[in-house]
Amino acid sequence: MPQKISLRIDGELIHTAGQRSILEVALEHGKFIPSLCHMKGLASVGACRLCIVEVAGVGRVLPACSTPVQDGMAVTTQSDKLRRYRKIALELLFAERNHVCAVCVSNGHCELQGLATKLGVTGVRYPYTFPKIGVDLTHKKFTLDQNRCILCTRCVRVCAEVEGAHVWDVSSRGVGSRLVCELNRKWGESRNCTSCGKCVQSCPTGALAEKGFAVEEMTKRTEPISRLTALRGVRP
Amino acid sequence: MRRITDLSAFNEVREAGLAKLLPPGPRIAIGMGTCGTGNGAESVYHAFADAINQRGLGVKLARTGCFGFCAAEPLVNVWLPGKPLVILQRVQPNDVDAILDDLLAGRMPAGLALCKIEEWDHITGHVKYGAGCPEIPHWYDTAFFKGQKKIVLRNCGLISPGDIDEYFAVGGYQALYKALIDANPEAIIESIKVAKLRGRGGAGYQTGIKWDFLRKAKAEQKYIICNADEGDPGAYMNRNEIESDPHSLLEGMIIGGYVMGATEGIIYARAEYPLAVHRLNSAIEQAKEYGLLGENILNRGFKFNLRLVEGAGAFVCGEETALIRSLEGKAGRPTPRPPYPAESGLYGMPTNINNVETWYNIAPIVIKGAAWFTETGSPKSSGTKVFSLVGKVTNTGLVEMPLGTPLKTFVYDVGGGGTNGRAIKAVQTGGPSGGCIPMDMFDTAVDYESLGQLGSIMGSGGMVVMDEDNCMVDVARYFIEFTHSESCGKCIPCRVGLDKSLHYLNRISHGKGTAADLELLDELSRMIRDTSLCGLGQTAPNPVLTTMRHFRHEFEDHIRAGRCRAGVCEDLALSPCENSCPLHMNIPRFLQLLKEDRLEEAFLSVVMDNPLPASTGRVCQHPCDDRCRRAGIDEAVNMREVHRHIADAIYPTERFDALAAQVAARRLPPTGKKCAVVGAGPTGLACAFYLALLGHEVMVYDSNAAAGGMLRYALPDYRLPKDVLDLEIELIRRTGVQFTFDTQVPKDVSLNDLDSQYDSVFLAIGTWKESWVYLPGTELTGVIPALPFLEAISKQQPVPLGKNVAVIGGGNAAIDSARTALRLGSKVTIIYRRERKDMPAIAEETEAAEAEGAQIMFLATPHRIIGSPDGKVQAIEAVKTRLGEYDSSGRRRPIPTDEIVRMACDTVILAVGETVDADFAKASGLKIKESGLIEVDRYTLETSRPNFYAGGDLITGASNVSNAMGYGKKAARKIDQRLTGERRWDQIFPKFDIDQTPPAHPSASGRHHVTEVDAAERAKTFADATIGLAPVEAMEEACRCLRCDIRNGDHQ
């Protein structure tokens, strides 16, 4: 049994078990910390940098998803600086690819869109990149639209960690990074894909979607996956 | 070879090594690191080998690593028994025979010698080479090595990296033997802690504490890793260390393995370092054969295996978690910490990673102890650090200095200052992760904390020196381009943020940036720095943040003025000469027109760019010379003299009227706007000329009876004959400029009057007030300020000048006064407080003055003027100075000595600089800077009063003619923009169709200089002291131009 610790999050005194991340504990206690790459049940990668928080006595901001709680810690989840940085991160995501909500299957159910609304991102100050990237419609049930991918790698992790197939990964680097199926196969030609659809359900945007849905129709559910990992004891 | 199992076997190897290092006959060792080989060491080696073979000599030939002085490669060490080891520099294959002849005759080849080493402290051992050769300086007395302390580089360049015996000879593997025999790992960790050794990879974490973590970690398997993935542009410390002395790394790691309880070590080296990889592999093989790796090392029951992994070249793999992922065969992307590698590293096992250089410090600490180690360095950072000093510095190379050494020691003492005497602007430390430190902060101590405070980092030790030819926007852009392409892409700030940063920097360097871009860039950079996942992203914005902090004016120049002062950003500069010209004359164009034998068009091109071409052709400071790319081949094109030639070929001839009419015909239709220009000096004349061409009605006011300002009343006739000036002013007058002479503003006409009569007023009255030196005796009769003196001479007024004249100062006014006094028959001595190279005067002028008989006393500060009882100057006393520390201007500060010289004289001319007339400044009611100069907007030249502009010396302080005219030209453009609300500037300039193919064969001729009239002759009169270029010489100069203005098709 991990030892009990106490910490303050936004001033509230919280008692909890150690060995857990700030993000988990904060969410459990009804705090709002935005995140996109985090998904309950999957390993933390600290990629989206939206869950940054301030910890008293630490000079820099820390990602809540991969920073463990410590006894006596005082965490601030909202401040001008954090809000500013989170908005920049979202703006950068919008500027990076071609996120045209009006024609997206996930319009209205998209985590990126939802966070932008919640955090007050009303415009993007940075120039759009408008990369020319394609869509993979070769799978019989699902679609991959790289234009909407934010490289959160939830699909990569859910496939590798939960389904055990490791169909997805990221190729190249920097702004050239692309989600890639196996060793750059068409999804429809994948040898390992079990067509379980966990990746689609995990995807926060419309990048991975089921076929047969029109604009605004695609809704996703991550809770069954999180519950499954909890039952299996993979992660709490 | 056999395994070493006991002390006697150990000593046997050592003896064998010593016999190789100090053989009974001569030894020649060629520095064959990658740097040496790149400079031709391979052919030098073969030349030696062939010569030794052919002659059948008993000379031992060896390949060593590099001794560190890259600028002097190829380096060769030669040694004769009993003599010191002599390091020869820049050895070429054809030097080989002479070197061998010398050695066989028992001499050292002194001609090529860089320095000598009589004995060498290898820290773990000591080698005595021998004494003698007093004509060759000791290594520690040469500029480059002075102050260096070689701990990490203790063996580099002295032993053969390919021969383990030579490493034994200098005390190698003793530290390992000691550690194994003492069998007290805790004590070693303790002494590393006490030694305050900090990680040399850049972050500076305490090595001892890190080692303690791993030692205490409990696991079946622990790993230690050496990070040799050195990827910073401009850094090659680790490459050289490994290439020159691979066994020191091995020894450090084996000790580390023993101390931390790890049985497996991995060296992660760049695949781009083939020689380092090769030498490491062979070192590992040799160590295995001697039983220094593998089972039962040195028969002490310790097992340790070491292997080398070649990195695939990603910069991010220098980050420890990315490096570990790469070793595991995964993509090199960092993972969040915690968990730290000491808990969960390679394959999830506890792991320690240290930089190459950290490992090199282990054996010395084990042998010499912590107390010895802390003797070197600063209180918080012990020991030394190796830096690769590169860029625009005379002595480039690997420099190992105690931590805490001031930056200026690196740049000026070791580095020998800027190449070709150029002014150094900044130093970039820490490569793409570091920042730029400006020259005025060169007092900064180089250690982890001090550099961090300036927004830079020490990094692994790259030190790139930059001079005025480096554009700081371009520097930032370059580094962001690098980190942008090396970003792994995992986290958003680094992946997308750097992409957008690069976008803004590109825009700014193309002249398309906006002030808003700068703000967004600043905020974005901070966000990337604060929120990125790993060290790459967290430090990537440093180059942007530091350049924006320390060189913000350069960013603003790009944005607001479309100007890249360094001439690097191609879209903002036509050519280096045009960019350096304050008037932005299209120099390649008039050279080409002359070359195409189109003299009249060449004149038109010149005069439209510069309305006083004959005057500036004689007296300009010619900054274009310093930037001309032809200087890379032989000497700069003599551009100033070519435009003097072009002007002189037109002005005094019958063609003048026709061409003046052509210039006047460029005038735009009248706008009905009225402009006043106050001051008919070069600034005012330039402004009036362009305002008139733009169609405005222009009136120039001047307190004198004729136009020309300083050109007429301060420049002596022998530099600028006044008939030339008169013709130039006549041309300006024909564009419609009107003059009101003998009228002083604001005494005769108030500023309010001007305001009510004119739409805009340009103030350009220059600096006519001579600065006064406050030293005893300036009240004496015979002490005269330079400007009034020169003015009186030009107006042919009598000046009471004595027989012995002392001139105080080193600027153009000082030299002009001196040469004028010489012409009046006096003996002249110039007293200047710094060195010759620091004189602000044009170098040719100084030389001419000396040729005419002026004496110059350098390094002397006047201390008092002695007078006779009747109040007349009798003598001057000056304190001799010596050169001290470098000051913030990069010049060595003169420090007074006890020596005082006394010189009899009857006149003292003070020429220590001119300032704005304070009475005018006060009376004008305009906002004034602390220095007494008029405050203006740097980009629009607007003063604090609406419709009033100012330029020239009035806003910059005493400067020179072309600078002053540059302001006049710029003011006309800005005033016109404000008056008409349009951008009409380009309309007044004629277009010329010239050949746009680069010259396939630029003239091979050397630079043509003006002909100087014989010094004795010219010193007698005020006639022109030089004779301009002959037509054929001017033509040849034009043919020497390389045409840097021609762009590839995609730039047009």
User: Which residues of chain A have a CB within 8 Å of the CB of B336?
Assistant: 44-46, 63, 66
- A50/A124 same-domain check: no
CB spacing of A89 vs B484 below 8 angstroms? no
Strand ranges of the sheet holding B674-678, from the earlier edge strand across to the other edge? B738-740, B697-701, B674-678, B760-763, B948-950
| Alpha-helical regions (H) of B369-441 | 370-374, 407-408
- B351/B476 same-domain check: no
Cis peptide leading into residue B161 (ω within 30°): no
CB spacing of A151 vs B493 below 8 angstroms? no
Domain closes at, from B877, B894, B911:
B911
Residue of B343, B490, B504, B508 to mutate, interface with A, max A Cβ within 10 Å: B490
CB spacing of A89 vs B493 below 8 angstroms? yes
Cα–Cα distance between B950 and B745 in angstroms, integer? 14
Q: What are phi and psi of B123, to 5 degrees?
A: 70, -55
Residue of B nearest to A53 (CA): B531
Cα–Cα distance between B322 and B743 in angstroms, integer? 76
CB spacing of B331 vs A170 below 8 angstroms? yes
CB spacing of B336 vs A151 below 8 angstroms? no
What CATH number has the domain bearing residue A60?
3.10.20.740
Percent of chain A with pLDDT over 90: 93
Structural domain contains residue B26: yes
Cβ-nearest to B520 among A89, A125, A129: A125
B500 at the A interface (CB within 8 A)?
yes
What CATH number has the domain bearing residue B445?
3.10.20.600
CB spacing of B496 vs A63 below 8 angstroms? no
Cα–Cα distance between B702 and A145 in angstroms, integer? 74
Structural domain contains residue A26: yes
Structural domain contains residue A149: yes
B5 at the A interface (CB within 8 A)?
no
- B85/B15 same-domain check: yes
Strand ranges of the sheet holding B302-311, from the earlier edge strand across to the other edge? B294-297, B302-311, B264-270, B223-228, B351-355
* Helical (H) or strand (E) element with A156: helix A154-157
- Residue A213 structural domain: 101-232
CB spacing of B336 vs A66 below 8 angstroms? yes
User: Which residues of chain B have a CB within 8 Å of the CB of A44?
Assistant: 336
Residue of B498, B506, B517, B531 to mutate, interface with A, max A Cβ within 10 Å: B531
Cα–Cα distance between A207 and A146 in angstroms, integer? 6
CB spacing of A93 vs B492 below 8 angstroms? yes
User: Which residues of chain A have a CB within 8 Å of the CB of B491?
Assistant: 46-49
Instruction: Give the Cβ contact number of residue B535 at 10 Å.
Output: 20
What CATH number has the domain bearing residue B543?
1.20.1440.230
Cα–Cα distance between B647 and B638 in angstroms, integer? 15
- Residue B448 structural domain: 383-470
- A60/A109 same-domain check: no
Structural domain contains residue B777: no
B496 at the A interface (CB within 8 A)?
yes
Residue B819 tokens, joined? 């040469």
Torsion of CA A41, A44, A50, A55, to 10 degrees: 110
Q: Chain A residues within 8 A (CB-CB) of chain B?
A: 44-49, 52, 60-61, 63, 66-68, 81, 84-85, 88-89, 92-93, 95-96, 125-127, 129, 150-151, 169-170, 172-177
pLDDT of residue B1051: 42
- B391/B423 same-domain check: yes
Structural domain contains residue B167: no
Domain closes at, from B470, B497, B518:
B470
Structural domain contains residue A121: yes
pLDDT of residue B1020: 86
Measure in Å the smallest separation between the Cα of A101 and chain B Cα atoms: 20
* Helical (H) or strand (E) element with B284: helix B274-289
B531 at the A interface (CB within 8 A)?
yes
Percent of chain A with pLDDT over 70: 98
Structural domain contains residue A153: yes
Give bridge partners of residue B64 from the DSSP assignment: B31
Cβ-nearest to A92 among B489, B492, B533: B492
Residue of A49, A82, A85 to mutate, interface with B, max B Cβ within 10 Å: A49
Q: How far is CA B955 from CA A148, B682, B932, in A?
A: 56, 14, 9
Measure in Å the smallest separation between the Cα of A43 and chain B Cα atoms: 11
Taking chain A, what is the end-to-end CA distance rounded to the nearest angstrom? 13
pLDDT of residue B232: 85
Residue of A nearest to B486 (CA): A174
User: Which residues of chain A have a CB within 8 Å of the CB of B495?
Assistant: 96, 151, 174-175, 177
Structural domain contains residue A91: no
What CATH number has the domain bearing residue A184?
3.30.70.20
- B269/B130 same-domain check: no
- B744/B872 same-domain check: no
What CATH number has the domain bearing residue B592?
1.10.1060
Structural domain contains residue B779: no
pLDDT along chain B (1052 residues), means of 10: 88 95 94 93 96 92 93 94 94 94 90 94 93 93 94 96 96 96 95 94 90 95 95 90 96 97 96 94 96 94 96 91 95 92 95 96 96 93 94 94 94 90 89 91 91 87 92 96 95 97 97 96 97 95 96 95 91 93 96 95 96 95 91 93 95 93 95 95 96 97 94 92 93 96 90 94 88 82 91 89 93 94 94 89 92 93 90 92 83 88 93 82 83 89 94 89 95 96 94 92 92 88 90 95 81 41
| Cα angle B435, B437, B439; round to 5 | 160
The number of domains in chain B is: 7
- A124/A71 same-domain check: no
Residue of B nearest to A85 (CA): B527
CB spacing of B495 vs A175 below 8 angstroms? yes
- B1016/B950 same-domain check: no
- B305/B216 same-domain check: yes
User: Which distant-in-sequence residues (6+ apart) come within 8 Å of B375 by Cβ?
Assistant: none
Structural domain contains residue B154: no
Residue of B nearest to A47 (CA): B491
- B342/B199 same-domain check: yes
DSSP A78: -
CB spacing of A68 vs B338 below 8 angstroms? yes
Structural domain contains residue A84: no
What mean pLDDT, rounded, does chain A reach?
94
- A37/A125 same-domain check: no
- B221: nearest Cα among B305, B136, B296: B305
Q: What is the largest CA-CA distance in chain B?
A: 103
- A194/A133 same-domain check: yes
User: Which residues of chain B have a CB within 8 Å of the CB of A123?
Assistant: none
Structural domain contains residue B786: no
User: Which residues of chain A have a CB within 8 Å of the CB of B317?
Assistant: none
Give bridge partners of residue A136 from the DSSP assignment: A144
Cα–Cα distance between A154 and B152 in angstroms, integer? 46
Measure in Å the smallest separation between the Cα of B450 and chain A Cα atoms: 18
- B132/B30 same-domain check: yes
Reduced DSSP (H G I as helix, E B as strand, rest coil) percent helix, strand, coil of chain A, to 5: 30, 15, 55
What CATH number has the domain bearing residue B888?
3.50.50.60
pLDDT of residue B1052: 40
Beta-sheet pairing, B435-438 with B462-467: unpaired
CB spacing of A175 vs B499 below 8 angstroms? yes
Residue B324 tokens, joined? 């570990």
B184 at the A interface (CB within 8 A)?
no
Measure in Å the smallest separation between the Cα of B329 and chain A Cα atoms: 14
Could you tell me if B558 and B564 are in contact, meaning their C-beta atoms sit under 8 angstroms apart? yes
Cβ-nearest to B489 among A45, A85, A174: A174
Structural domain contains residue A142: yes
Cβ-nearest to A60 among B314, B495, B530: B530
CB pairs under 8 A between A and B: 101
CA within 13 Å, CB half, B505: 28
Instruction: Give the Cβ contact number of residue B999 at 10 Å.
Output: 15
Structural domain contains residue A167: yes
The number of domains in chain A is: 2
| Cα angle A98, A102, A104; round to 5 | 65
- B435/B447 same-domain check: yes
- A117/A222 same-domain check: yes
Q: How far is CA B632 from CA B212, B565, B567, B636, B1042, in A?
A: 55, 20, 16, 8, 11
User: Which residues of chain A have a CB within 8 Å of the CB of B316?
Assistant: 173
Residue A96 tokens, joined? 């990076």
User: Which residues of chain B have a CB within 8 Å of the CB of A60?
Assistant: 530
Residue of B321, B326, B495, B510 to mutate, interface with A, max A Cβ within 10 Å: B495
CB spacing of B491 vs A46 below 8 angstroms? yes
- A113/A63 same-domain check: no
- A144/A46 same-domain check: no
CB spacing of A47 vs B527 below 8 angstroms? no
User: Which residues of chain A have a CB within 8 Å of the CB of B203?
Assistant: none
- B392: nearest Cα among B431, B418, B425: B418
CB spacing of A45 vs B331 below 8 angstroms? no
Read off the pLDDT of each residue in A16-28 and give the average, rounded to a whole number.
93
Residue B242 tokens, joined? 């490994």
Structural domain contains residue B366: yes
